[in-house]
Amino acid sequence: MMTTTERLTIATENDRFRRQLGIGAAPGRTMLTRGLAALPPGDLEGVLRSVRAFDAFTPSNDPWHEHDCARVDTPAGPVLFKFDYFADDNLDRGAENGLRCYRVLTLMLAEEY
């Protein structure tokens, strides 16, 4: 079982990664679904800005306090983001937790879920 401190560390790393969309953050990558990638450039920019700025985590949308998944209202409509944790960049084995891992942040239109 993870401690409160470990969960806070994961939340902090997830927030840093999401706000930077992986650029210069912890090891990982950001993935866009087809629907999101097909948006006009201006709409996609608004979505990315909204995802980076999101901070409305509550016990109901973040029960484990890891900031690893949420629904964000954006100018282009609702978007979901979700972190998955892998052992390394081969993406062939999951990591035990988000403390020492290779992060994959997936962004998708809510309708694609």
Mean of pLDDT over the chain: 94
pLDDT of residue 8: 96
Q: What's the CA gap between 93 and 63, in Å, rounded?
A: 25
pLDDT of residue 97: 87
Q: What's the CA gap between 45 and 50, in Å, rounded?
A: 9
Q: What's the CA gap between 48 and 74, in Å, rounded?
A: 9
Q: What's the CA gap between 108 and 113, in Å, rounded?
A: 7
pLDDT of residue 101: 95
Sign (positive/negative) of CA torsion 31, 35, 41, 42? negative
Which position has the token pair 């609702």? 78
Cβ burial of 46 (10 Å; 0-12, 13-18, 19+) is middle
What average pLDDT does the segment 90-104 reach?
94
Q: pTM value?
A: 0.94
Task: Name 86's bridge partners.
Answer: 94, 102
pLDDT tens for 18-57 read 999 878 777 899 999 999 999 999 999 999 999 999 999 9
pLDDT of residue 5: 96
Which is more confident, 51 or 2?
51
pLDDT of residue 23: 81
Instruction: Give the phi and the psi of residue 5 in degrees, each rounded to 5.
Output: -65, -40
* Domain coordinates in residue numbering, the chain: 4-112
Within 21-40, residue ranges assigned H as helices are 34-37
pLDDT of residue 3: 95
